[in-house]
């Protein structure tokens, strides 16, 4: 009987301490009330996205992730990464950002390589402090590019977050999480 209690205690400890899938990551639902600067927040796992709608129908994003490599966010994925509008970037004394499209459930490619445009991304600032990476960028709600998702205000939009360990656009992610936003 003691062995059974010991086994149950070990299982309980393992269950409490395991967070090995994206579904186990701590997720804070999209905030309903903006902060003093008008930003809404979506936090999930090691990621924090602050965003607000600008008067010119662009979404201003302030995106932070734990780690010193690339960070990325995919807006409105259909199945895993498929058909998500990805913004991927890194900071190495200057900001680098690329607009990608989810070409399958496990792959993405730059809009330019697919015949689209990179017109939906503008880096305005960023940092890499040795612990986390931060990027600020704009994305239009509707760029007109077939490889960009139309972001509709008032509709819940799923997002996927990812980060890698190197400063590039193509290496595999080291961790990821999910969430959702509602543009207001």
The per-residue pLDDT for range 141-167, each reduced to its tens digit, is 999 998 899 999 999 999 999 999 988
Annotate the chain with DSSP letters as a single string: -HHHHHHHHHHHHHHHH---SGGGS-EEPPPSS--TTS-EEEEETTEEEEEEE-TTSEEEEEEEEESSS-EEEEES-SBTTBT-EEEEEEESSSEEEEEEEE-SSS-EEEHHHHT---TT-EEEEEEE-SSEEEEEEEEES----TTSPPPPTTSEEEEEEEE-SSSSSSSPPSEEEEEEEE--
When divided into structural domains, the chain yields a total of: 1
**What percent of the chain is predicted at pLDDT more than 70?**
81
- Write the CATH number for 159: 2.60.40.1210
Q: Is residue 74 part of a domain?
A: yes
pLDDT, average across residues 67-81: 90
pLDDT of residue 30: 62
Rounded to two decimals, what is the model's pTM? Answer: 0.80
Q: Is residue 10 part of a domain?
A: no
């Amino acid at each position: 009987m003691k062995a059974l209690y010991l086994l149950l205690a070990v299982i309980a400890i393992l269950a409490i301490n395991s967070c090995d899938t994206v579904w186990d990551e701590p997720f804070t639902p999209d905030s309903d009330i903006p902060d003093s600067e008008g930003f809404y927040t979506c936090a999930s796992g090691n990621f924090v996205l602050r965003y607000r709608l600008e008067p010119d129908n662009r979404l201003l994003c302030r995106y932070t992730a734990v780690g010193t490599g690339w960070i990325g966010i995919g807006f409105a994925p259909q199945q895993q990464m498929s058909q998500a509008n990805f913004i991927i970037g890194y900071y190495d004394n200057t900001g680098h950002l690329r607009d990608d499209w989810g070409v399958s459930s496990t792959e993405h490619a730059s809009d330019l390589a697919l015949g689209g445009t990179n017109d939906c991304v503008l880096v305005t600032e960023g940092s890499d402090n040795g612990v986390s990476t931060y990027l600020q960028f704009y994305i239009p709600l509707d760029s007109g590019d077939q490889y960009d998702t139309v972001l509709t205000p008032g509709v819940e939009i799923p997002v996927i977050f990812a980060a890698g360990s190197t400063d590039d656009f193509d290496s595999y992610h080291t961790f990821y999480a999910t969430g959702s936003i509602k543009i207001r």
